[in-house]
Amino acid sequence: MLRHRRSSQVTACRPRLGHVRDLTPLARFGGLVASGLRDVTSDPAALESSGFWAVCADFEGRLVCARFATVRSEEVPLPVPGAWRGPGPGDWASSLDKGAYVAGVRRIREHIAAGEVYQANLCRVLSAPLPGPQADVDALTALLARGNPAPYAGTIRLPEHGVEIATASPELFLSRDGRTVESGPIKGTGRTEDDLLEKDHAENVMIVDLVRNDLGRVCAPGTVSVPDLCAVEKHPGLVHLVSTVRGRLADGAGWPELITAAFPPGSVTGAPKSSALRIIDALETSPRGPYCGAVGWVDADRGTAELAVGIRTFWIDRTGPAPLLCFGTGAGITWGSDPAREWAETELKASRLLAVASGAHEETGRTAS
């Protein structure tokens, strides 16, 4: 169904943040909090059944769908001093250093020159030890909500299933309202609109074509459209080019078919997707995990859903001897890419969020840009 299926795992809600790590399953999206974990599955067909589901799909294919018994309205709590202790700004290690990343950009340009691919997303995963093992990802969510608000922000806390995620994603992977589905691919990033280049617009159009093709595999003929192309959206510290692709699911197509057709998201892979994935596998030295996967919710009773692309996303990895906080950043590479500029774009995307996670935003009221 997804690229590589692996076993998975999940946790609920407490209205106030405290100093002790909370282990209760929880999902938080927008002004909603889901609690009372009922069941967990890796089968996307369950999303066609009933109830409210939190969904997390790793880029490599692990899928976790967690159904909750209760959903209530609740805004993200204000940060509690001392509830979150994050890594220092200088504590982060990168899966690719600047030299390796720049070399990777050059290698992708060689693949483009050879006609193997038009665009490929090159990413790196940052990780840093957490100062305290009691870190609660929902406390980080409170900081992100103030320091880097995002349209698809969310939290899934399922520690018994290896899922502790806080996202400040600006990008829509898939939304659903009945039989209507929509995707909002982002391609093109700058500090201001004046920073956006012709290369950014061309890159966006390429990915829109890819997403149209993905949705066209499961949507009724003639229903896939592009209501918005290369719209400029402002986000904290940067701007993006964002397009909208919309279609109506064909009869008999549901979540299993939709996820199979669209995953992993085209904006974080490249075009053609199969060639880009092969190049990514060869150049990247660390699994992306939740980064560049999908994070969001499905309300099976109402037939609605909103899954974000897992960018601007933190997750806690407790598989090693000490817990790590992880974060991914990357850039889309085309023939017009300048290697040093692409590295700088990955730094731009990460800098504000790493400052928030360090607690610098809480202490100073601003973050580095």
Q: Which two tokens stand for residue 241?
A: 């080019």
Beta bridge partners of 50: none
CA distance linking residue 219 with residue 181, whole number of Å: 9
Q: Which of 60, 164, 171, 234 is catalytic?
A: 171
Distances (CA, A) of 67 to 36, 247, 277, 355: 9, 27, 31, 33
Q: Catalogue the E-assigned strands of the chain.
A: 26-29, 32-41, 52-57, 63-73, 93-94, 119-129, 152-158, 163-169, 172-177, 180-184, 186-190, 225-235, 238-248, 270-271, 294-299, 304-309, 313-317, 324-333
Q: Which of 164, 187, 199, 273 is catalytic?
A: 187
CA distance linking residue 21 with residue 23, whole number of Å: 6
Asked if 347 is an active-site residue, the reply is no
Asked if 171 is an active-site residue, the reply is yes
Phi, psi values for residue 318, rounded to 5°: -110, 20
**Chain length of the chain:** 369
Return the closest-CA partner of residue 8 out of 164, 220, 126: 164
Q: Which residues are part of the catalytic machinery? A: 171, 187
